Amino acid sequence: MDISDYSYVVVGSGLAGAVLAERIATKVGKPVLVLEKRGHIGGNCYSTNDRETGIEYHAYGTHIFHTSDEKVWNYIRQFTTFNNYQHRVLSSHQGKIYQFPINLETINHFYGVNLKPFEVEGFMAGVRDPSITEPANFEEKALSLIGRDLYEAFFKHYTIKQWQVDPRTLPASIFNRLPFRKNYVDNYFFDKWQGIPEKGYTRVFENLLADKKIRVLLNTDFFALRDRIRKDACLIYSGPIDRYFDYKYGKLSWRTLRFEQETLPMEDYQGNSVVNYPGAEVRYTRIHEPRHLHPEREFTRDKTIIFREYSLHDQGDNPYYPIASAENQRLLALYQQEAVRLPNVFITGRLGDYKYYDMHHTIARSLEIFENGVLPLITANHAV
Ligand code: UDP
């Protein structure tokens, strides 16, 4: 089949695109063309084995699958089993390791006290900033909840490194992403289901895209062959929304990550999959050690691999996180107004929706587009 023969074209083989390609191929039963700019499938979920050590790692940063959405869970389990990994994060402050997000162990260790859960509230009342009654930004929110010492140790510099802006310019809602716990619970997520695909993320994508009706073209830029795609094709576009419209209103800004890999001559470097480095003394924000994501696997005992994570803004061609500024929201609204006028085009995914989706959000969104966008479109076209 030639490119111009396909009635269903999916741009991007990340989670948003792969789920929709799977739904269309298996439920509509029509050929689907998937165009992938990179040399691999899976988008930023892509995982691969390190050549030297055989340790599987997530090339675009540690991805933990977690959801409480039964529909999403039942859907994804058709394509993978999950191991029993539970995400716990540690934070390194002045050479000492603390549990993170802040819980009772963090507070006791940090202040050298031995509080009981029911004593935390009274203690925190003494360290909080009582003058902030209506916190208007990230910093004020932090000071009003945990006080200056914990804020400066664990949040301030991490946030500056991560967002490269003054924390007083960030919304208080970003601080709310993290819980503050008065007990010893140290799970990062509270979802009903959690884990890492037992055979890795890339295998999940191979399974999603396994149907013979799906044809994936790697190293293929949609914009280079856009003219050859049928004008009436159902197009699923999961790339950046501003790029789709040739940046006509201007560019949305993105936060990007850079990873520096190192192989070390020991079995275990840090004893955990992720350790945060919230201090100003190092430029990276965290260190990932992927062997810990698969406690069920036997890896080499001689070596381990680690990845130092650095945050960048608008550099390279690898957008990760939308930046929630008023200007970006204004641009996004302009692009979205254009997008709704294209009945057979669905712009989606983290890049298309310009939303900070976790993986389970992306799956839910793709299932929703299939049911409430693609299927009605087919019905409407048949009716004509
Ligand atoms: N944060 C921090 N110190 C940390 C971890 C997170 O200050 O050790 C801040 C940072 O500003 C981050 C926010 O808390 O953007 C929310 O954390 P989350 O883990 O949700 O961050 P993300 O998923 O964006 O990396």
309, 321, 354, 357: which is the annotated catalytic residue? 309
Q: In this structure, is residue 307 part of a structural domain? A: no
Q: Is residue 143 part of a domain?
A: yes
Residue in the structure block whose two tokens are 């049911």: 371
Q: Do both 200 and 327 map to the same domain?
A: yes
Q: Is 255 a catalytic residue?
A: yes
| Whether the predicted pLDDT of 171 surpasses 90 | no
pLDDT score, position 318: 82
CATH number reported for the structural domain that contains residue 374 in this entry: 3.40.50.720
Mean pLDDT of 54-82: 98
Q: Is 158 in the pocket of ligand 1 (CB under 6 A)?
A: yes
The verdict on 65 and 169 lying in the same domain is: no
Query: Would you say residue 256 lies in a domain?
Result: no
Among 126, 149, 177, give the residue marking a domain's end: 177
Q: Please, are residues 337 and 304 in contact by the beta-carbon 8 Å criterion? A: no
Query: Mean pLDDT, to the nearest integer, of 120-136?
Result: 93
Output the pLDDT for position 346: 98
Residues 237 and 331 in one domain: yes
In this prediction, residue 97 has a pLDDT band, given cuts at 50, 70 and 90, of: very high
Please tell me the predicted confidence (pLDDT) of residue 383. 58
Question: Do 232 and 327 have their domain in common?
Answer: yes
What are the C-alpha distances in Å from 18 to residues 167, 185, 345, 382?
36, 35, 16, 25
Same domain, 223 and 332: yes
Determine the distance separating the centroid of ligand 1 and the alpha carbon of 2, expressed in angstroms. 46
In a domain, 57, yes or no: yes
pLDDT tier for residue 199 given thresholds of 50, 70 and 90: very high
- Same domain flag for 100 and 203: no
Q: Do 34 and 218 form a contact (C-beta atoms < 8 A)? A: no
Q: How many CB atoms lie within 10 A of CB 213?
A: 15
Per DSSP bridges, beta strands 89-93 and 274-276 are: parallel
When the pLDDT of each residue in the chain is averaged and rounded to a whole number, the result is: 95
Query: What atom of ligand 1 comes closest to residue 138's alpha carbon?
Result: 11
Residue 257 clears pLDDT 50, i.e. is over it: yes
How many angstroms separate the alpha carbon of residue 288 from the centre of ligand 1? 15
91 lines ligand 1 (CB under 6 A): yes
Other CB atoms within 10 A of residue 333 CB: 10
- Asked, for residue 360, whether it belongs to a domain, the answer is yes
**Same-domain check for residues 36 and 101:** no
Say if residue 141's pLDDT is above 60. Answer: yes
Asked whether residue 163 falls in the same domain as residue 103, the answer is yes
Last residue of a domain, one of 177, 204, 235: 177
Q: List phi, psi (to 5°) of 78.
A: -70, -15
Residue closest to 236 by CA, chosen among 4, 32, 18, 10:
10
Identify whether 33 is part of a domain.
yes
For the chain, the domain total comes to 2
Give yes or no: residues 228 and 341 share one domain: yes
Taking residues 10-18, report their average pLDDT: 98
Q: Judge if 99 and 213 occupy the same domain.
A: no
Q: Are residues 135 and 235 in the same domain?
A: no
Q: pLDDT class for 174, splitting at 50, 70, 90?
A: confident
Which range (8-17, 169-178, 218-227, 295-304) has the least confidence? 169-178
- Of the given ranges (92-96, 167-171, 225-229, 263-267), which has the lowest mean pLDDT? 167-171
Task: Please check whether residues 152 and 211 belong to one and the same domain.
Answer: no
> Which tokens hold the place of 229?
């795609």
The pLDDT value given to residue 323: 85
Query: Has residue 278 been placed in a domain?
Result: no
The answer as to whether 258 is a domain residue is: no
Ligand 1 center from residue 159 Cα (angstroms): 7
- pTM for this entry: 0.94
Owning domain of residue 123: 89-177
Give the domain-ending residue among 177, 207, 226: 177
pLDDT at 384: 45
Which one of 100, 150, 178 would you pick to mutate in the ligand 1 pocket, going by the greatest count of ligand atoms within 8 A of its CB? 178
Going from the Cα of 137 to the center of ligand 1, the distance in angstroms, rounded, reads 14
Catalytic hit among 177, 227, 317, 341: 177
